[in-house]
Amino acid sequence: MHRAVRRRLHVYQLSRLVHASPAQWERLLTSMEEDKERAYNYYQPMRQAAAQLCSLGLAKRDLIVGKLISDAARIRAGKGQNPVRDNVRAFEAFELNFYPKVRTMIRSLLREDQQGGVTFEGLKITGLPHLEVEDRKGNVRYVFLYPSIWNRDDLKAYLELLYEIVRVRFRADPKSIWCMGLREGKTIRFKPSRSIRRKCQEAAQHFCRFATAQEESEQ
């Protein structure tokens, strides 16, 4: 029996394929599942702490930071990495630059079921923003906590795909996407792009063809 070839990708994975050449795909697909989990887990203490700060407020800050440090200390660090330092810095950037702009925490999406996905060009794309909040102007915003340094094109593709999920699942408009750049403490503006969307569509279509060809070759 041949093994089933999945037709489901996380937005992180598909965004990495959008600007890659087809020749790079097999290598990327082999490495990306592990990379996705490692990248997500590295900053998970910060994301959880940001959600707790929005829910519990500054009165619980010391407890929140203590838990963040404890959780980050258990992360297996790679060469040159310092999970405690990096998570604390990212959290402090959120606290200083973005927390004052949040009026109300609506809900954390960190533990929401992401398996259903959204159909996009025959492919199920999964993933969610990190938080759903109301900003000081009374607008509902979907927060992506961004502490890393990604390739600029990869980030654009990620936000385009994340917006597709937000549009379908939450029926929200592009202005609802709030990408919090925690390196520089500034919002990274998102504006839908026809050219980026087209490239995302082409990548999804190509992945489906790739999966079908792989499945047929294993029969």
DSSP string, 154-187: HHHHHHHHHHHHHHHHH---GGGEEEEETTTTEE
Residue 7: phi and psi, rounded to 5, are: -125, 50
Q: Which residues have CB under 8 Å from 24's CB, separation 6+? A: none
Tens of pLDDT, residues 47-75: 999 999 999 999 999 999 999 999 999 99
Instruction: State residue 10 phi and psi, 5-degree precision.
Output: -75, 150
Tokens 């310092």 -> residue? 82
Contacts for 83 with CB less than 8 Å, ≥ 6 apart: 42, 45, 72, 73, 75, 77
Tokens coding 208:
């489906």
**Least confident interval from 28-32, 155-159, 178-182:** 28-32
pLDDT digits (tens, 9 = 90+) for 109-134: 998 866 668 999 989 999 999 999 99
Position 1 confidence tier, pLDDT thresholds 50, 70, 90: very low
Cα distances (Å, whole numbers) of residue 69 to 18, 64, 75, 112, 133:
35, 9, 10, 24, 25
